[in-house]
Structure 1
Amino acid sequence: MLNEMGTRLKEARIAKGYSLEDLQDVTKIQKRYLAGIEEGNYSMMPGQFYVRAFIKQYADAVGLNADELLEQHKSEMPETTKEQVSKPMAAPARSRRQSMSKSSSGRINEKMPMIIVALFIVLIIFVMWFFYNMLAENDPTDEATENDDGLQYEAPSENSPPPTEEEEPAEDEAAEEQPEEEEPAEPETEISVTGTEGQTTTYQWTGPAERELVIDVSGPSWVGATDENGENLMTATTMQAGQSETLDVSEASQIRLRLGAAPNVELSLNGEPIEYQQDLTTQNIVIDFTDAE
């Protein structure tokens, strides 16, 4: 027998176009617990603490005010019990933290002399290096040895011919020799319906290898997307009016979309709109991709 709160939640779920399986995907709560909430059967819950938490998640997913709902129907809620935790249980944890703090500070104190000695050695090395560079810069023998290589410098004579310069090809000639590359033409795109079965419509897309799917939502809708291997391209979630999601599906050979409240969802692929072939609230859209040559 349904209680009043469970009835309100179920009616809100049906108004959203969600099945219990859809709501399970949105809230991550097992289907049997969701059914128990609708029936007012809280004894099957994993614990009394989870009853309020599950009801709040259910209400948020279907667009109801969870706090207001719980306050109006608090008489229907089971009484929760508070487990008492004895204070002596916390004492060992504090003592362990204190002993760890003491042991770590003791290790630091033991290593402090070694750290000071290491810093002192580094300081000595730095001072020696600094003075060595100062002496090297002021050494008068450097200038004498720079030109002392056993060679005599000969000034160029007046009659010696000027050095020849290698001729370089003109930049304009090199530019003319390079052929201009033509930009490849953008392949044409085509999308068509290949079949329908139940809530599922299958489309065939032929077009560029680089593909982007844009999902625009004009009202509360539940949307999820997977590839041909069942991997999530978009985790199933409830999108609100005005939200948009862009998916890069260039690497996928197939994409499967699950839509709740489908009339609120607009789909476009590389700017091409995808028209729904079925007037259903909950739909599955499957798109197979073929790269155009």
Structure 2
Amino acid sequence: MNEMGTRLKEARIAKGYSLEDLQDVTKIQKRYLAGIEEGNYSMMPGQFYVRAFIKQYADAVGLNADELLEQHKAEMPETTKEQVSKPMAAPVRSRRQAMSKSSSSRINEKMPMVIVALFIVVIVAVMWFFFNMLGEDDPTDEVTENDDGVQYEAPSENTPPATEEEPAEEEEPEEQPEEEEPAEPETEISVAGTDGQTTTYQSTGSAERELLIEVTGPSWVGATDENGENLMAAATMQAGQSETLDLSEVSLVRLRLGAAPNVDLTLNGEPIEYEQDLTTQNIVIEFTDAE
């Protein structure tokens, strides 16, 4: 075992990870992780993967990967770079492309003439429209002459009779105050007990329940219900990722956490505080609806 492999193994043990846990976090096969700790790089799929696997290993156990590689660069195998250069073929314009370009040139030459013709058509249409509008006589009131030779204006058909009264406006009914909906019961969380790596919580409150899972660093997370059915398939979550589980239809949820200090749990806005300072632990929450 080389010095760098020893440092990585010690950091893994300090984190409480087994090789199986680290395999789940980094997605690197267990045999490659063991090879890194033993300094056996010949088993790697290629020299390029050696540095990449070591950086993932270091990040997962909280070490500075760049600093680690710089300090132990003498232990690293030499990598070779293959330079492959392919001459780029100059584009060859086909006869069809040349014809297309020629057609486009003709269209561009005739485009100003088309635009001018359209402009003239629009002007003629506008002038014709206004000419027809001005040609129509405005409606005027009819003038009637009575027997005495005095002219008077006939009442317009649109003029309402003088004796006609407008109907009184109906009074609008007063709006009834809306009944306030009953407030949702507050969510309460308490610790029921601990057994090994498992901590059980009791939760009472609203029947509508949402569990927010937020991750601040690489962590392995999985969730099942009271029947062992998956609510969230076990997977590695990275820093900044989050997941929301709807727990309204279940009476119990069981969470399996790897690197638990990197995971924040919130039920209906209430944070769940860890009772045990363990890297890998189980969280069980039993639900009781408030009456």
TM-score (structure 2 length as normaliser): 0.71
Aligned residues: 268
- Output the CA distance in 1 between the equivalents of 2:201 and 2:102: 73
Match in the other structure for 1:242:
none
Alignment match, 2:128? 135
Evaluate the alpha carbon distance shift between residue 174 and residue 230 of structure 1 in structure 2; reply closer, same or farther with a 3 A threshold. closer
Match of 2:148 in 1: none
Aligned with 2:163: secondary structure?
Answer: coil
Gaps of 5+ in 2: 142-153, 225-229
Is the 8 Å Cα contact of residues 216 and 267 (structure 1) preserved in structure 2?
A: no
Q: Residues 282 and 226 of structure 1: is their aligned pair in 2 closer, same or farther, counting only changes over 3 Å?
A: closer
For residues 139-166 of structure 1, give each alpha carbon's deviation from its aligned partner in whole angstroms, at most 9, with x where no partner exists: 3555427779xx9834748x72144235
How far, CA to CA, are the matches of 2:110 and 2:235 in structure 1?
58
Aligned: 1:153 with 2:151 = no
When residues 111 and 34 of structure 1 are mapped into structure 2, their CA distance, relative to the original with a 3 A threshold, is farther
Which has the greater radius of gyration? Answer: 2
Is the helix fraction higher in 1 or 2? 1
- Cα RMSD of the aligned pairs, angstroms, is 4.0
Q: How does 1:156-235 map to 2 (within 5 A)?
A: 156=159, 160-170=162-172, 173-175=173-175, 178-191=176-189, 198-208=196-206, 209=208, 211=210, 213=212, 222-228=218-224, 229=230, 231=232
* 2:3 counterpart of 1:4: yes
Aligned counterpart, 2:53: 54
The residue type paired with residue 237 of structure 2 is: A
Which residue number in structure 2 is paired with residue 124 of structure 1? 117
Q: Closer, same or farther in 2 for the Cα pair 1:10/1:118, shift >3 Å?
A: same
The separation in 1 between residues aligned to 2:244 and 2:221, in whole angstroms, is: 12
Aligned AA for 1:269? Answer: L
Residue-by-residue CA offset, 1:170-222 (whole Å, 9 max, x unaligned): 3xx331xx2531222212434456776653334454433153537597xxx64
Q: 1:106 aligns with which of 70, 91, 98?
A: 98
Q: For the residues of structure 2 that align with 1:181 and 1:234, how far apart are their CA atoms?
A: 46
Measured in 2, the distance between the counterparts of 1:248 and 1:238 equals 16
Instruction: Report deviation, 1:167.
Output: 2.2
For the residue of structure 2 that corresponds to 1:8, the secondary structure is helix
Unaligned regions of 5+ residues in structure 1, if any?
Answer: 240-244
CA–CA distance in structure 1, aligned partners of residues 65 and 203 of structure 2: 43
> Contact 1:26–1:237 at 8 Å: present in 2 too?
no
Identity of aligned residues (%): 55
Which residue is 1:236 aligned to? 237
Q: Within 1, Cα distance between the matches of 2:91 and 2:276?
A: 68
Give the drift of 1:277: 4.5
